[in-house]
Amino acid sequence: MKYVFGVDIGGTTVKMGFLTSEGELLEKWEIPTDRSNNGANILSDVAASIDSKITEKGIDKADVIGVGAGVPGPVDSNGIIHSAANLGWGVFNASEEFSRLTGLKAMVGNDANVAALGEMWKGGGVGYKDIVMVTLGTGVGGGIIIDGKILTGALGAGGEIGHIHVRDGEEKACGCGNHGCFEQYCSATGVSNLAKKHFEKYNGTTVLTKEDLSAKAVFDGVKAGDALSKEIAEEFGECLGKGLSVIATIINPEAIVIGGGVSKAGQVIIDYTMPSFKENVFSDCGKLKMLLATLGNDAGMYGAARLVL
């Protein structure tokens, strides 16, 4: 039996997974992310945790194929991180450093890209090799997989699809500094902002309350048949469909996989996105499967493991 470790390094915790080379998750655990001293201890903490797991399991280190890691920032195909502000990291070759610390083959990638790889391997995108994944979380992350491989781009910023421009005349700035990115309307924060805007000018009755205008409340409202919630979901779907149509027209993927906290609402997300997607996409590029992610927070761990195989 051969093994692999998949590691998802976040700003607060590091999710660690111990898997077989076939992708069976044998055990997962977490360690805190030590952001002190510009994150200088993070990789060595992870390496120490891997070492003690190898000892605990009584396996031969020679049977460990390697360790993969996803990090929150752009990483190019050589494993060079170009910035990871959440961790305090600057520019360095993380794959090399991680390999030195663990004594194992190591590969590092961008967390959203790696999550896309995980969904392709063991999640919602199983059976496809050309997929686009979009993660609707606090922000909008993305990953593009072409012929089974991550599209990293020159500086590792490939797949930042949440920053596709979908609306002119937006006054508020996106986190990236531009105006009118689809992240501004389709992330959890984005849906909540749309909800506030609609709620303020709505005179009818609604199940929504001023106190809870979260994405979850909105999509629960849609399922309960609430008219205001449906109005908000329509604007959300219009923006998401438009953004996804742009990326689908360029990539012509077999499937788009939608993940992240907002996607927990389920099929309703796809139902509201499809009309605008179909309206804006180039016809042949629109013939794809629109799917929901299934691995949740474990996608990064699976994808990181896959990266090293």
Cross-strand partners of 3: 20, 64
Distance, in Å, from the CA atom of 194 to the CA atom of 45, rounded to the nearest integer, reads: 41
164 touches Zn ion (CB under 5 A): no
Choice between 4 and 136, CB closer to Zn ion: 136
Distance, in Å, from the CA atom of 251 to the CA atom of 146, rounded to the nearest integer, reads: 8
CB of 173 to Zn ion, least distance (A): 8
173 touches Zn ion (CB under 5 A): no
Interacting residue with Zn ion among 71, 174, 232, 247 (CB under 5 A):
174
Give, as ranges, the residues between 269 and 288 that touch Zn ion (CB under 5 A).
Answer: none
Cα–Cα distance list, 113 to 105, 279, 292 (Å): 20, 27, 16
Using the rule CB under 5 A, give the single segment among 50-58, 85-93, 139-147, 159-167 that binds Zn ion.
Answer: 159-167
Interacting residue with Zn ion among 55, 176, 266, 278 (CB under 5 A):
176
Closest CA to 235 of 287, 291, 170: 170
CB of 84 to Zn ion, least distance (A): 18
Using the rule CB under 5 A, give the single segment among 16-24, 112-120, 144-152, 170-178 that binds Zn ion.
Answer: 170-178
181 touches Zn ion (CB under 5 A): yes
Distance, in Å, from the CA atom of 269 to the CA atom of 240, rounded to the nearest integer, reads: 9
Cα–Cα distance list, 262 to 83, 135, 233 (Å): 27, 8, 12
122 touches Zn ion (CB under 5 A): no
Choice between 42 and 240, CB closer to Zn ion: 240
Phi, psi of 209 (to 5 degrees): -125, 155
Per CB under 5 A, residues contacting Zn ion are: 163, 174, 176, 178, 181
